[in-house]
Amino acid sequence: MRRPLIAGNWKMNLTREQSRNLATAIAMDANTSRADVVLCPPAIYLETVLETARSIRTVGNEFGIGAQNVYDKPNGAFTGEISTAMLEDLGIGYVILGHSERRQFMHESDDVVNAKLNTVLASSLTPIVCVGETLEEREAGRTLEVVGRQFEGAFAGVSEGLASRAILAYEPVWAIGTGKTATPEQAQEVHHDLRKLAVLRYNSALGDSLRILYGGSVKADNAAELLSQADIDGALVGGASLQADTFLRIIAAAR
């Protein structure tokens, strides 16, 4: 059985105090009996959020802290970047890779995502690899082609043993931060296709155990229906993860 995971991507939002307050409220009340929970604050607040959470509960896989990005080189003259070793040093457990905003604004290609995925899988961090099509691509009937290319690109050269540690997130670009959610049927269809791709690329054991999260305007009132779909194993939540009560309701909606 795949255990649901609800991750909050705080993006470039909040002050240190707000981060501490939000982490406190979620760490106090998040019920992890049915779902893993991950908070992904801005890099500069990772330590604050981690220490805050640790003062309230055990931090690990079930209640984890994640980075929104990482670099693919181990160390050196890469101004502004952070490494997997630095994240491990803090005690960070997860990292988001290939988010559409990084693909769009920081021009991250499938090759870049692949390099980062290889680096992350060589560390103890668990990657959450994002794929998703634009509205134009969906309207042109290219959804499967696009997410398939992103999936194959990210996992090129990645062995089955390492790939089995990854989490996938389907995030249609047209649904991110727009208030437009994919219908549960639309999301389920793509999740099912992605699982089939994982079976084809690896094998049915990996495909069956691969956790595929949905992201794109997940809110407290649409989470239960999305999460009830057979191939939706959790949510990657942006805007709605910035308010404790809303995020806690999404966690509570997990199967």
User: How far apart are the C-alpha atoms of 254 and 4, rounded to whole Å?
Assistant: 7
Minimum Å distance from CB 70 to ligand PEP? Answer: 16
CA 103 to chain centre: 14
60 binds ligand PEP (CB under 6 A): no
DSSP string, 91-149: T--EEEES-HHHHHHS---HHHHHHHHHHHHTSSPEEEEEE---HHHHHTT-HHHHHHH
Minimum Å distance from CB 203 to ligand PEP? Answer: 29
237 binds ligand PEP (CB under 6 A): yes
Out of 133, 137, 171, 233, name the contact with ligand PEP by CB under 6 A: 171
Identify the CA nearest to 167 among candidates 251, 87, 97. Answer: 97
Nearby residues of 17 by Cβ (< 8 Å), 6 or more positions away: none
User: How far apart are the C-alpha atoms of 219 and 136, rounded to whole Å?
Assistant: 24
* Contacts to ligand PEP from residues 132-161, by CB under 6 A: none
- Give yes or no: 171 in active site: yes
* Contacts to ligand PEP from residues 205-234, by CB under 6 A: 215-218
Minimum Å distance from CB 241 to ligand PEP? Answer: 7
238 binds ligand PEP (CB under 6 A): yes
Q: 91's torsion region: left (phi>0), alpha (psi -120 to 50) or beta?
A: left
Minimum Å distance from CB 219 to ligand PEP? Answer: 8
* Residue 238, φ and ψ in degrees, nearest 5: -95, -95
113 binds ligand PEP (CB under 6 A): no
9 binds ligand PEP (CB under 6 A): yes
Q: State the residue number with the nearest CB to ligand PEP.
A: 238
Nearer to ligand PEP, 147 or 176 (CB): 176
Active site residues: 99, 171
* Footprint of ligand PEP (CB under 6 A): 9, 171, 176-177, 215-218, 236-240
